[in-house]
Amino acid sequence: MEIQNGTTFHFKRDLFAPITIAGALLSVLGGLVLIASLNADPIAYASNPTIWTLVWSDEFDGPSGSPVNSSKWSFDYGGNGWGNNELETYTSRPANSHLEGGLLVIKALRETFTGPDSITRNYTSARLLTKNKFSQAYGRFEARIKIPYGQGIWPAFWLLGDNIATARWPNCGEIDIMENIGKEPSIVHGTFHGPGYSGGNGVSAAYTLSNGQKFSDDFHTFAVEWEPNVMRFYVDGLLYKTRTPADLPAGKSWVFDHPFFIILNVAVGGGWPGNPDATTVFPQQMLVDYVRVYQRATPSNVPELEQSSIQVAVSISP
C-alpha cells in the first residue's frame, strides 16, 4: 500500500480482502478520506504455511568442517557451466563446500585448478544437487540463504526436471527459485525455462529490496509454491509474482507436471553476469541455513491473489 507522501505499508492478503477491485471509500476521523483502488504493482502477501506439510529438509546441523549429507546431496563436476561460459571448475572438495556452525557453506575461490576434464581454470566452486536422491512434483520449495556479492558472481537455488537424461534440457523444465548476478546486489530473479522459452528467453520476474539494501547483507528466504498450472514466487514470505501457462509464449507447452530435483550452486562468470573484474573480492561464499520442501494433500491450481498495490489519495478537511 502506497501513501502519496511516499510512505509504504505492506499488508497480508487477508487484510485487504474486503476491498473490491472497484475500490472503497472510507472516512476516518471525520476528515481523512481514503480512496483505494487496486493496480498491477506488487504489495506484500504472505503465504499461509499451515496448509503445507514438511516432507524433506536439510538443516545442515552436522559438525563444523564436515561434508554435506551424502544421502541427500551429490555433486556436479567440471567446468564451462553447461553452456553458460562460466569460468569455475565445480568440485566436491571441503574447500568448496562444507558445514559450518549449522550452515552449508558454498565457497568460490580464485585458484589455479585442473579438474577431472584435464582443463586448468582459475576459479573453483561447488554445485550440489539432490538428483537420484530426492525429487518431487509440486510443493513449496524454500531455502534461507545469505548470498555472496560482486561482479561476476552468480549464486542460485533452483530445480531441474528429473527426466533430464531422456528429455534433455530445456524439455525437462527448469525452475529458478532464486538467481542473483553480483552487479545487481539488490535484485533477485525467479524464472522458469522450457522448450521455446529457455536461456535468455525464460519467463522471468525480478524482486528488488527497498532503500538500497543488498541481499548479501543478511539472510533471506526464497521460495516457490509450484502446483498444477501455477507457480508463485516469494522473497521473505512475500509473493512477488504468480505465473500460469497463460504467461508462456504462444504455442509453447507447460512442462512442469513431473518431479524435479534441487540444485544449489555459486557460479563464477558467464554470459549473463559477466566475468569478475578488479572490484571482485575472493573468496566468495553462499551460506544456506536450511532447505525445506513441503507438500499439501490436495494441490491447488488457484493462482492466488498476487501482490497488488492500493493507491491511496489523502485529503484532510480544514
Determine the pLDDT at residue 223: 98
Q: Is residue 30 part of a domain?
A: yes
- What CATH number has the domain bearing residue 124? 2.60.120.200
**Catalytic-residue membership of 174:** yes
Claim to verify: residue 94 and residue 173 sit in the same structural domain: yes
Q: Is residue 251 part of a domain?
A: yes
Determine the pLDDT at residue 257: 97
| Segments in the chain forming alpha helices (H) | 13-16, 164-167
Claim to verify: residue 114 and residue 25 sit in the same structural domain: no
154 contacts 180 by C-beta, under 8 angstroms: yes
Give counts: helices (H), strands (E), the chain.
2, 22
Claim to verify: residue 12 and residue 79 sit in the same structural domain: no
Q: Is residue 265 part of a domain?
A: yes
**Catalytic-residue membership of 179:** yes
Alpha-carbon span 275 to 64, nearest angstrom? 32
Claim to verify: residue 112 and residue 8 sit in the same structural domain: no
Determine the pLDDT at residue 32: 33
Q: Return the bridge partners of 238, or none.
A: 46, 235
Determine the pLDDT at residue 22: 37
Claim to verify: residue 59 and residue 25 sit in the same structural domain: no
Query: Under DSSP, is residue 143 helix (H, G, I), strand (E, B) or coil?
Result: strand
Determine the pLDDT at residue 81: 75
Determine the pLDDT at residue 299: 76
Determine the pLDDT at residue 117: 87
Q: Is residue 48 part of a domain?
A: no
Claim to verify: residue 163 and residue 273 sit in the same structural domain: yes
Q: Is residue 60 part of a domain?
A: yes
Name the catalytic one among 88, 174, 225, 227.
174
Classify burial at 256, counting beta carbons within 10 Å of its beta carbon; exposed 0-12, middle 13-18, buried 19 or more: buried
First vs last C-alpha separation in the chain: 25
Domain that holds residue 312: 2-43+304-316
Claim to verify: residue 139 and residue 180 sit in the same structural domain: yes
Name the catalytic one among 86, 142, 179, 225.
179
Q: Is residue 180 part of a domain?
A: yes
CA dihedral 67, 160, 200, 279 (to 10 degrees): -10
Claim to verify: residue 7 and residue 65 sit in the same structural domain: no
pLDDT in 10s for each residue of the chain, 318 residues: 333 333 333 333 333 333 333 333 333 333 333 323 333 333 333 456 568 999 999 999 999 999 999 999 999 998 877 789 999 999 999 999 999 999 999 999 999 999 988 999 999 999 999 999 999 999 999 999 999 999 999 999 999 999 999 999 999 999 999 999 999 999 999 999 999 999 999 999 999 999 999 999 999 999 999 999 999 999 999 999 999 999 999 999 999 999 999 999 999 999 999 999 999 999 999 999 999 999 998 877 766 554 433 333 333 333
Q: Give the Å distances, CA to CA, from 16 to 37, 305, 307, 312.
A: 11, 11, 11, 13
Q: Give the Å distances, CA to CA, from 5 to 226, 297, 311.
A: 37, 45, 11
Q: Is residue 239 part of a domain?
A: yes
Claim to verify: residue 12 and residue 151 sit in the same structural domain: no
Determine the pLDDT at residue 147: 98
Q: Is residue 175 part of a domain?
A: yes
Claim to verify: residue 168 and residue 311 sit in the same structural domain: no
Number of domains in the chain: 2
Claim to verify: residue 35 and residue 113 sit in the same structural domain: no
Claim to verify: residue 242 and residue 221 sit in the same structural domain: yes
